[in-house]
């Protein structure tokens, strides 16, 4: 609502992300890149929604709900990374467990973000635009995968060793 009233520069950020998607986008490789992936998927999808519905976007509850989900993922990814980095700086090597948990969350979230954004684009795009928009979304959400199974096994081993669910 604040963005619709001009309180947030959301439209500008969305347009910038759409322009970025039209050009060359590097494959995401770092944890910070994974946070950017979630934000870019949100902004790109939001831009397409604003282009289609303009002032009537607030009445499209399914789309607004999906955009809210994308915003939650972007916020959660950024928060998880910031907290894990802070913990790692404070605890050093013993803070690795929390960083592993954050890494697992970030990479797992990337696929969920892609699915939600694709659902939105399918609902928003005309038949001619859909292929282009999905290709641009794919460019924005490409990343170098990590071995999540090994990472989750390491997390599980730490929890099993402690005999309880531990985060830090």
pLDDT tens per residue, range 108-117:
999 999 999 9
**Minimal CA–CA distance to 120: which of 43, 6, 27?**
43
In this prediction, residue 6 carries a pLDDT of 58
- Residue 3 included in any domain: no
Quote the pLDDT of residue 7.
Answer: 59
Question: Residue 1 has which token pair?
Answer: 């609502």
Predicted confidence at residue 10, as pLDDT, reads 82
CATH of the domain at 138: 1.20.140.10
Q: How far is Cα 63 from Cα 70, in angstroms, rounded to an integer?
A: 11
For the entire predicted model, the pTM comes to 0.88
Between CA 118 and CA 120 the distance in angstroms is 5
Looking at the 3D structure of the chain, how many domains does it have?
1
Say how far apart CA 88 and CA 156 lie, in whole Å. Answer: 19
- Which tops the pLDDT comparison, 126 or 87? 87
Least Cα distance to 63 among 121, 104, 22 occurs for 121
Q: What is the pLDDT of residues 18-60, one digit of tens each?
A: 888 888 889 999 999 999 999 999 999 999 998 888 788 888 9
DSSP letter (8 states) at residue 143: B
Task: Examine the pLDDT at 3 and tell me if it is beyond 90.
Answer: no
In a domain, 106, yes or no: yes
**What pLDDT does residue 22 have?**
87
The pLDDT value recorded for residue 95 is 82
In a domain, residue 5? The reply is no
pLDDT tens-digit map of 47-103: 999 888 878 888 899 999 999 999 999 999 999 999 999 999 999 877 899 999 999
> Does any domain span residue 47?
yes
Please report whether residue 39 resides in a domain. yes
Closest CA to 39 of 4, 76, 65, 87: 76
- Show the domain range for 83: 10-162
3-state helix, strand, coil in the chain (%, to 5): 80, 0, 20
| CA–CA distances in Å: residue 151 to residues 5, 53, 88, 97 | 44, 42, 17, 10
pLDDT digits (tens, 9 = 90+) for 128-150: 899 999 999 999 999 999 999 99
């Amino acid at each position: 609502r604040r963005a619709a009233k001009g309180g947030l520069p959301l439209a500008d950020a969305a347009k910038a992300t759409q322009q970025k998607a039209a050009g060359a986008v590097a494959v995401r490789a770092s944890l910070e890149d994974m946070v950017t992936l979630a934000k870019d998927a949100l902004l790109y999808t939001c831009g397409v929604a604003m282009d289609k519905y303009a002032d009537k976007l607030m009445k499209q509850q399914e789309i607004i709900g999906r955009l809210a989900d994308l915003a939650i993922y972007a916020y959660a990814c950024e928060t998880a990374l910031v907290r894990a980095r802070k913990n790692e700086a404070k605890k050093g090597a013993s803070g690795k467990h929390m960083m592993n948990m954050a890494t697992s969350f970030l990479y797992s979230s990337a696929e969920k973000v892609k699915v939600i954004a694709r659902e939105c684009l399918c609902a928003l795009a005309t038949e001619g635009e859909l292929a282009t928009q999905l290709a641009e979304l794919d460019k924005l959400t490409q990343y170098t995968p990590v071995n999540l199974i090994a990472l989750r096994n390491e997390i599980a081993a730490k929890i099993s060793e402690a005999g309880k669910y531990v985060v830090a």
